[in-house]
Amino acid sequence: MKITKYVVKKPFKDFLPEPEDFGTKHENFDKLKNDQFLVKAEYISTDPYLRSFANKRAVPYDQFGFQVGNVVESLNPEYPVKMTVVSHSGWRDYAVLNGQPDDMFGIKPYDPQIGKLPLSLALGALGMPGITAYLGFLEICKPRTGDVVCVSSAAGTVGSLVGQIAKMKGCVVIGFAGSPEKVQYLRDELGFNYAYDYKAVKDVKATILSVCNGIDCYFDNVGGELSAGIVQCMKRVGRIAVCGSISTYGSVVDQKMPIIPHNVKVQSFSFTQWDWEQQMAAIQQLKAWMQIGSIKAKETVVQGFDQLPTALIGLLRGDNIGKVVVKV
């Protein structure tokens, strides 16, 4: 049996990779060793960190990433045949695993216990992005009823969840996204109080202060000029959760930190800083909210293993709303 995997052949020169930067290779698989199990991928994830973590990484390297699939062979009693498994085993159609944590995030393969919800959600709202949104927002921003919460990249997987959680906590929510379609989605479907296309906004500070007297919590997914404008609107003792800086990924110029007002807490974070029990509790709460319709999760499902590079490029270009996964 041959396992097909993606490798990154050439360094990404700019923010957007090129399809030619990727290639496929084959690994021969004969039989399992003790404690190993074989997973057939059903969905593979595309995420912004695939771009940021590529910076200065020596090529060639196997393209890393999350996937969810089903165990088809096993010599490991913890992972029986037909078990559904999420793992950080990369862009490959089959994965030979042994139940040990991955090298990048230290996560053991696990059963997402998705129930009757779509399996692809295990890579989005009920996976790493959901954990990131839930714990990053609630534990760092610590929202209070009546707080003004601002979210950048608000139509993405993480940002859209943060905004919805903020609404449930009684906050006023301002979202910035990258197209009129995304702005409409935030307002009409997710119930954001205010939403703006950052590409059409000439003065971020003036736009925000026209609808409120300042921001209590800012969940930053983008960095760059947009965040510099938002930060100017922070109230005293405001809180900023720095989740990502997608606007600067691939930049060869060192980014200057915007001037932060006094008494504003700024904390960057990774979902891995919380323990496994907290991560799983976050997923269970998000799942409960989804089952009763309090949380919505929009997905774009791209068909075909061969479409993985195109799907990632589209995600980074901002072509889609919400999560982008590839059906293998």
Residue 99 lies in a domain: yes
Same domain, 156 and 46: no
Contact in structure between 194 and 174 (CB atoms under 8 Å): yes
Nearest Cα to 154, choosing from 164, 144, 145?
164
- Spell out a b/e string for 213-252, using b for 16 or more CB atoms within 10 Å of the CB, else e: eebbbbbbbbbbebbbbbbbbbbeebbbbbbbbbbbbbee
Residue 277 lies in a domain: no
Segment 44-84, tens digit of pLDDT: 999 999 999 998 899 999 999 999 999 999 999 999 999 99
Same domain, 199 and 268: yes
* Lowest-confidence segment of 52-56, 274-278, 298-302 by average pLDDT: 52-56
Same domain, 80 and 187: no
For the residues 162-173, what does the mean pLDDT come to? 98
Quote the pLDDT of residue 260: 78
Residue 291 lies in a domain: no
* CATH code, 225: 3.40.50.720
- Mean of the per-residue pLDDT values of the chain: 95
Quote the pLDDT of residue 250: 52
Segment 207-245, tens digit of pLDDT: 999 999 999 999 999 988 999 999 999 999 999 999 987
Residue 279 lies in a domain: no
Residue 281 lies in a domain: no
Same domain, 116 and 136: no
Segment 190-215, tens digit of pLDDT: 999 999 999 999 999 999 999 999 99
Q: Percent of the chain having pLDDT more than 90? A: 91
Quote the pLDDT of residue 254: 52
For the residues 178-183, what does the mean pLDDT come to? 98
Same domain, 137 and 227: yes
Same domain, 70 and 111: yes
Backbone angles phi, psi at 189, to 5 degrees: -100, -35
Segment 78-128, tens digit of pLDDT: 999 999 999 999 999 999 999 999 999 999 999 999 999 999 999 999 999
Contact in structure between 72 and 1 (CB atoms under 8 Å): no
Q: How far is Cα 199 from Cα 49, in angstroms, rounded to an integer?
A: 23
Q: How far is Cα 105 from Cα 80, in angstroms, rounded to an integer?
A: 24
Q: Is-above-0.75 flag for pTM?
A: yes
Same domain, 6 and 103: yes
Residue 289 lies in a domain: no
Count of structural domains within the chain: 2
Q: How far is Cα 319 from Cα 36, in angstroms, rounded to an integer?
A: 39
Look at residue 15 and tell me whether its pLDDT is greater than 90.
no
Q: Judging by beta carbons within 10 Å of its beta carbon (0-12, 13-18, 19+), is residue 296 exposed, middle or buried?
A: middle
**Which structural domain range is residue 28 located in?**
2-124+297-327
Same domain, 35 and 66: yes
Quote the pLDDT of residue 190: 98
